[in-house]
């Protein structure tokens, strides 16, 4: 039992059960009390009509016949009897006596008594655990001065309690309580089952990265969570594949220059051979460097910080211009975002280097959108074939000899930029500009309040 209550299923079940029971109890309490108030109002209205009827009739009955008439009519909760008390109007009028006097007229003098009848405060037998223990309607005694001078006492008593039904109210509520328990358990299972499925899917993912994705079924929120989990699984699978492919490619590409270096070292050293060895060594170092950059682009250990996008673009473009690159920046985003500073900077630098290396120049345009900033980097190169726009994001993919290692590329720049963009919830796309050149569009979401 303790394990059940400490689980999410037990806690949700207990909260739902207590909430439904409390709501049902409150509803029953309000319903019983409203029914009792309605009964009291009806009883008061009936007593007022009956009192007017009795007193009006007594007024026309001859004095010698009044005793018999009072004996016959004084039954139930309304009693009328002769009294020798004098009329004392010192006690304030009650609501009942005031309404009764208005209906009888000025010929009748009403004097409520200060003492209530004993039956007014006597406990009543009730059939409901929510009902009041005492009668809360009109219950009082009134001395009535008749037009002929006789004084009668009018007593309004509580109605008799209804006979017992022979059925315990708690027993009658058992089917209702069982239905509440069943409903609470059903709702709990519906709410907790998707969480268990996600937990099991996460466990299966740890055991097998290629495990089948979750089925998109259930409520819209559950389908959304399942879709997000499937997207996460696909992204992890893609990361592992890229890392494996990167290591395999670097290992393969390193074999050729290392072999050439080994063969040439066996020969007599001269200046020309030394330059060739240095060239091979530089190529090897460049491959290792960009391979490490690719690995870093998939690493998200750097802390997130609030970044000024305009300042970051100014800095990146200024550094590129200082290095002799033809880079121009226009527009302002006037916004801040949450990101990893070094990673975002590496993404922008790779895009600028790619534009300048293969398109001779880079025209950078930044503009603010609704909840995001759009950065467009256009070069003056020949562009890329439409069927290769998606393939250039693959690691070590090179289009042609003009984009070869002789020009300093290894096919990892755009891959690194895309990885960094996706880590920040951004999107990156390539398109051939109608006026010529390749245009890269980077859309960064606004995670942070703008300036």
> Are 347 and 430 found together in one domain?
yes
> Are 279 and 329 found together in one domain?
no
Give the DSSP per-residue string, 248-314.
Answer: HHHHHHHHHHHHHHHHHHTSPP-HHHHHHHHHHHHHHHHHHHHHHHHHHHT---SPPEEEEHHHHHH
SS3 378: strand
pLDDT along the chain (451 residues), means of 10: 70 81 82 84 88 86 81 81 84 88 88 84 66 77 87 85 57 76 81 81 69 80 85 83 70 70 67 73 70 62 80 91 89 85 88 87 89 89 82 73 49 82 84 87 70 37
147 in any annotated domain? yes
Q: Cα-flanking dihedrals φ and ψ of residue 118, to 5°?
A: -60, -30
195 in any annotated domain? no
Domain boundary at 247, 276, 299, which?
299
> Are 43 and 134 found together in one domain?
yes
> Are 325 and 401 found together in one domain?
yes
171 in any annotated domain? no
Distance CA 48, CA 60 (A): 19
Provide the domain limits for residue 31.
2-156
190 in any annotated domain? no
Domain boundary at 247, 267, 299, which?
299
Distance CA 244, CA 220 (A): 36
> Are 308 and 386 found together in one domain?
yes
Count of other CB atoms within 10 angstroms of residue 290: 23
> Are 123 and 268 found together in one domain?
no
> Are 294 and 320 found together in one domain?
no
> Are 129 and 67 found together in one domain?
yes
> Are 269 and 306 found together in one domain?
no
Provide the H-helix boundaries in 135-270. 169-207, 220-265
309 in any annotated domain? yes
Q: Is the dihedral of CA 297, 298, 302, 308 positive or negative?
A: positive
Distance CA 403, CA 387 (A): 17
Burial class of residue 234, CB neighbours in 10 A (0-12, 13-18, 19+):
exposed
Rg (Cα) of the chain, in Å, rounded? Answer: 46
Task: Give the pLDDT confidence score for residue 365 in this predicted structure.
Answer: 92
> Are 239 and 365 found together in one domain?
no
Distance CA 341, CA 366 (A): 18
163 in any annotated domain? no
Distance CA 120, CA 138 (A): 9
Domain boundary at 156, 175, 195, which?
156
Distance CA 43, CA 65 (A): 29
Count of other CB atoms within 10 angstroms of residue 170: 9
Give the DSSP per-residue string, 88-111.
Answer: -TTSPPPHHHHHHHHHH-TTSEEE
Q: Cα-flanking dihedrals φ and ψ of residue 444, to 5°?
A: -105, 125
142 in any annotated domain? yes
| Domain total of the chain | 3
Distance CA 411, CA 229 (A): 30
What are the angstrom distances between the C-alpha of 18 and each of 14, 123, 175, 192, 322?
6, 32, 16, 18, 70
CATH number at residue 450: 3.30.565.10
Distance CA 71, CA 145 (A): 19
Task: Give the pLDDT confidence score for residue 404 in this predicted structure.
Answer: 44
> Are 290 and 337 found together in one domain?
no
> Are 11 and 98 found together in one domain?
yes
183 in any annotated domain? no
Count of other CB atoms within 10 angstroms of residue 203: 10
């Amino acid at each position: 039992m303790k394990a059940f209550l400490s689980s999410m299923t037990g806690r949700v079940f207990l909260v739902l059960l207590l909430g439904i029971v409390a709501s049902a109890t409150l509803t029953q309490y309000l319903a019983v009390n409203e029914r009792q108030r309605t009964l009291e109002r009806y009883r008061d209205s009936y007593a007022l009509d009956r009192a007017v009827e009795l007193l009006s009739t007594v007024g026309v009955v001859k004095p010698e016949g009044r005793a018999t008439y009072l004996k016959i009519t004084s039954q139930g909760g309304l009693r009328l009897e002769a009294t020798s008390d004098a009329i004392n109007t010192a006690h304030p009028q009650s609501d009942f006596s005031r309404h009764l006097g208005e209906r009888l007229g000025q010929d009748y003098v009403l004097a409520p008594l200060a003492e209530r009848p004993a039956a007014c405060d006597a406990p009543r037998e009730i059939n409901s655990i929510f009902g009041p223990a005492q009668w809360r309607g009109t219950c009082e005694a009134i001395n009535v001065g008749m037009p002929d001078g006789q004084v009668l006492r009018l007593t309004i008593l509580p109605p008799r309690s209804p006979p017992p039904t022979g059925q315990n109210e708690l027993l009658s509520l058992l089917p209702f309580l069982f239905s509440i328990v069943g409903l609470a358990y059903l709702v709990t299972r519906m709410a907790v089952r998707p969480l268990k499925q996600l937990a099991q899917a996460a466990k299966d993912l740890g055991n097998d990265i290629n495990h089948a994705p979750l089925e998109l079924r259930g409520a819209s929120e559950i389908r959304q969570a399942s879709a997000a989990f499937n997207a996460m699984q696909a992204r992890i699978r893609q990361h592992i594949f890229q890392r494996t492919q990167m290591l395999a490619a670097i290992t393969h590409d390193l074999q050729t220059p290392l072999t050439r270096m080994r063969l040439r070292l066996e020969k007599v050293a001269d200046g020309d051979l030394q330059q060739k060895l240095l060239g091979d060594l530089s190529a090897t170092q460049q491959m290792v460097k960009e391979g490490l950059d690719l690995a870093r682009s998939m690493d998200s250990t750097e802390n997130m910080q609030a970044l000024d996008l305009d300042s970051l673009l100014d800095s990146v473009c200024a550094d590129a211009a200082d290095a002799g690159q033809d880079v121009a920046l226009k527009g302002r985003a006037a916004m801040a975002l949450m990101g990893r500073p070094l990673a975002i900077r590496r993404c922008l630098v790779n895009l600028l280097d790619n534009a300048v290396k293969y398109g001779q120049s880079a025209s950078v345009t930044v503009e603010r959108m609704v909840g995001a900033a759009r950065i467009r980097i256009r070069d003056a190169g020949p562009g890329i074939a439409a069927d290769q726009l998606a393939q250039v994001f693959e690691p070590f993919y090179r289009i042609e000899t003009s984009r070869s290692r002789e020009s300093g590329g290894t096919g990892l720049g755009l891959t690194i930029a895309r990885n960094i963009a996706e880590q920040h919830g951004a999107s990156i796309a390539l398109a051939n500009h109608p006026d010529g050149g390749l245009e890269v569009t980077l859309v960064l979401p606004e995670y942070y309040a703008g300036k």
